[in-house]
Amino acid sequence: MSSNNPISNFQDVPWKQRFYRSMLGYGIHFSRRSDGTINRFIMNLFDLKAQPSKQPIDGVITSDTVVDATRNLYFPLFLPSFEQNTNMPLIVYFHGGGFAYMSANSIACDDLCRNLCKKTGAVIISVNYRLSPEHKYPSQYDDGFDVLKFIDDNDNTKNFPSNVNLKQCFIAGDSAGGNLAHHVTVKACEYGLRNVKLIGLIAIQPFFGGEERTESENRLVDAPVLSVKGTDWLWKTFLPEGSDRNHPACNVFGSKSVDDIRRLKFPATMVVVGGVDPLYDWQIRYYEGLKKCGKEAYLIEYPNAFHSFYGAPELKESGLLMEEVKDFIGKLIK
């Protein structure tokens, strides 16, 4: 990281977390082929997976539900094992990984959803969507929306706890998952679900961008965890052939955007940003775009936080984020 960068809390990450992140970084580096494809065999050697557990682990039990086996579309369901009230909200979660890496059962994603489930008391659905470059835009958005339609069908929620309230549903995601959360929410608002009511969106350091280089990208070009060169590569693998980063999937409120959310009943949105994230300026623009469209939006900022800080529960900011999410949910379900 260059000398003019703000101080990051990355140095406060415990060595085990640093080692795990380094191993994932090596996997990402060595799995990338020169033709822009990914060697999944090599990547899977570094991307350790979690297994469903009917026995409580740290206060949470899990099980998998298949939506469409032909595209490996499924979701782990995270349930608090401790006694809950009769009104449990539902969070539909999309994991990060630049649309190209990780899965719903990756250790890091599993740990994050377990922590979120335990701290908020909500039921969590973590969507395992298809990955790029094998499956480019809009495959991931289609998968996310299909899961929403799946749970909107009461016949598919028979295994859900009886005290889950589908009328108190939140869409959430981190990084690329935050991007997915936005676009899936737009599709859901346009479609009109019958039994599921979206009341909140939680975008944690969402992955947005554009052709323009922002101040934060120039200042944090080699930031920890996520570099500008890395984000450019990820957009190239995800966006349709011939598209640039002003594509509306990337630059939500840019000149090519076709989504006019002013006309939609868009849910209240919580946008989480970190000061040592090269995506910072794009995330601020997203928040400001929501406000300009007349939508209810809240900005949560951690000045010293690097991209994906929430994956290190030992960090102060990670604990603060869980409290903010809990408060946001509590405010909207009252």
**Tens digits of residue pLDDT in 85-98:** 678 999 999 999 99
Per-residue confidence band for 224, with pLDDT thresholds at 50, 70 and 90: confident
Q: Which of 277, 281, 308, 318 is catalytic?
A: 277
Mean pLDDT of the region 48-56: 90
DSSP summary character for residue 157 = G
The number of folded domains in the chain is 1
- To which H or E segment does residue 79 belong? strand 73-80
Question: Among 19-23, 125-129, 155-159, 162-166, where is mean pLDDT lowest?
Answer: 19-23
**Tens digits of residue pLDDT in 161-196:** 888 999 999 999 999 999 999 999 999 999 989 999
* pTM to 2 decimal places: 0.94
**Is 231 inside any structural domain?**
yes
Predicted confidence at residue 2, as pLDDT, reads: 38
**Is 32 inside any structural domain?**
yes
Which domain, by its residues, includes 146? 9-333
- Calculate the average pLDDT of the chain: 92
Mean pLDDT of the region 78-84: 81
**Is 202 inside any structural domain?**
yes
Query: Parallel, antiparallel, or unpaired for β 123-127 and 164-174?
Result: unpaired
What's the longest Cα–Cα distance across the chain? Answer: 57
Mean pLDDT of the region 274-299: 97
Check pLDDT > 90 for residue 17: no
Q: How far apart are the first and last CA of the chain?
A: 44
Instruction: Evaluate whether 277 touches 226 at the Cβ level (below 8 Å).
Output: yes
Per-residue confidence band for 7, with pLDDT thresholds at 50, 70 and 90: low
Query: What percent of the chain has a predicted confidence (pLDDT) above 90?
Result: 78
Query: What φ, ψ does residue 226 adopt, rounded to 5°?
Result: -130, 120
Question: Among 100-114, 118-132, 249-263, where is mean pLDDT lowest?
Answer: 249-263
Mean pLDDT of the region 11-26: 76
**Is 234 inside any structural domain?**
yes
> Rounded CA gap, 167 and 199, in Å?
8
Predicted confidence at residue 85, as pLDDT, reads: 65
**Is 189 inside any structural domain?**
yes
Question: Among 23-27, 186-190, 299-303, 322-326, where is mean pLDDT lowest?
Answer: 23-27
Check pLDDT > 60 for residue 290: yes
Query: What φ, ψ does residue 15 adopt, rounded to 5°?
Result: -60, -35
One-letter amino acid for residue 319 of the chain: G
Q: Which of 174, 307, 308, 318 is catalytic?
A: 307
> Rounded CA gap, 103 and 96, in Å?
8
Bridge partners of 123, per DSSP, are: 90
Catalytic annotation present for 22 = no
Catalytic annotation present for 95 = no
**Is 4 inside any structural domain?**
no
Nearest to residue 123, comparing CAs of 62, 198, 199? Answer: 62
Instruction: Evaluate whether 248 touches 258 at the Cβ level (below 8 Å).
Output: yes
Catalytic annotation present for 175 = yes
Position with higher pLDDT, 331 vs 26: 331
CATH classification of the domain holding 274: 3.40.50.1820
Structure tokens given for 296: 């209810």
Q: Which of 106, 126, 132, 175 is catalytic?
A: 175
**Is 1 inside any structural domain?**
no
**Is 264 inside any structural domain?**
yes
